[in-house]
Structure 1
Amino acid sequence: MGGSPLPLRNAPPLIALVDYDMGNLRSVQKGLERVGHAAVVTSDPEVVRHADKIVLPGVGAFSDAIASLRERGLVDPLCDAIAAGTPLLGICLGMQLLFERSHEDGVHEGLGVLPGEVVRFAGLPHECKVPHMGWNQLSIKRPSPVLEGIHDGDYFYFVHSYYVRPGDAGLVAAETDYHVPFCSCVHRDNVFAAQFHPEKSQACGLRLLRNFAEL
């Protein structure tokens, strides 16, 4: 008989892992797979726009990253999806891109999803090298669904020379101390982001990825 096919029931949510040539995509994809969730690596604006969840990773320079997002036509789909309530997880540079501007090698406009700016570590004692690289602890400031089951003092893996300075203190879900405290995790509505690399942070990082995938 004719007619339209029935929609698939219980289809798994589409997690779009945004490919703009600036991130360790396979590590994040493998991390999600380890907790039982597949992610599609994509640079297709329409896949991003209509995904059920989005992960925005990133490694490298802010100016190159925002330029690549623009060149691939991904800025509007990302912002539209966020405005529509799609959960998004930013990782490392992907977290920084969500803010209004960065002071890395000049001043560069970000996605402007969250208020605040990205600044370089400065005035640190000699023993605090830049980039901040290695394991460090979280100090949880308020509950967040992605931090469920993660405790004050748990360790995560960091590699970065710049960090976010939110324009709204209420965004801060966790801080980390590197001679001075800095914002290492944010949450507002459907937007979550971490300065550390959950895909490199063993059990705690996998827990965060699972929490996000199962929102």
Structure 2
Amino acid sequence: MSTPHEPLELSVGASTGAKITTGLFSIPFIVIPLFMISILLRPDRLFEGSLSPLSFLAAVPLAIMVLFLRGALGTFRLRAALKGSVLEVRNTFVTHRVDLARARIWLDSSTEYAGAGSNRRPTGRRIPHLSAQEPGGPKVRLALRTAEGFLPPYELTALADAVESGHRTGPEAEETSQAAGLLRRLGTDPLTRIL
């Protein structure tokens, strides 16, 4: 189990295999559009003002390339770490930090979906999230269940320890205590882990 002072990399984000697959799958969708753009927008005519009407077709491969770059970047950048009582969640373009000892803490959930496009359907399961927000700061959400299952018990316990390390009063203290208790229960109670 981690103490609130040890940095702890949380088990969120893509696995190494998923990163390799994403990288290999994205290469053709980045290189081929670049090649098409270089044909449509010939560099020797780019600044002459004599672009052909077909040059605007470069927007299509450019859009495809940007979509795949964004997806690949999101796969490689997604991570979360607990450093003391500070939770750091890194997404595609931003990194949010929140001190769990001082922030308002609550647990919520979102519907889990399977499939893509018109075949996207709810599975009937909920994905629990730890939500935290310091006064005047952004709301930070951390999914407590990934494709592989819940976060390991020691990570959930470390999150609960970080939440309880601060001193709160009034209704916020009760809400925080309930959230920490639920985090511990998710980590230790086998029944809650199969839901």
When normalised by structure 2's length, the TM-score is 0.30
Higher helix proportion: 2
Larger-gyration structure (1/2) = 2
TM score, norm. by length of structure 1: 0.28
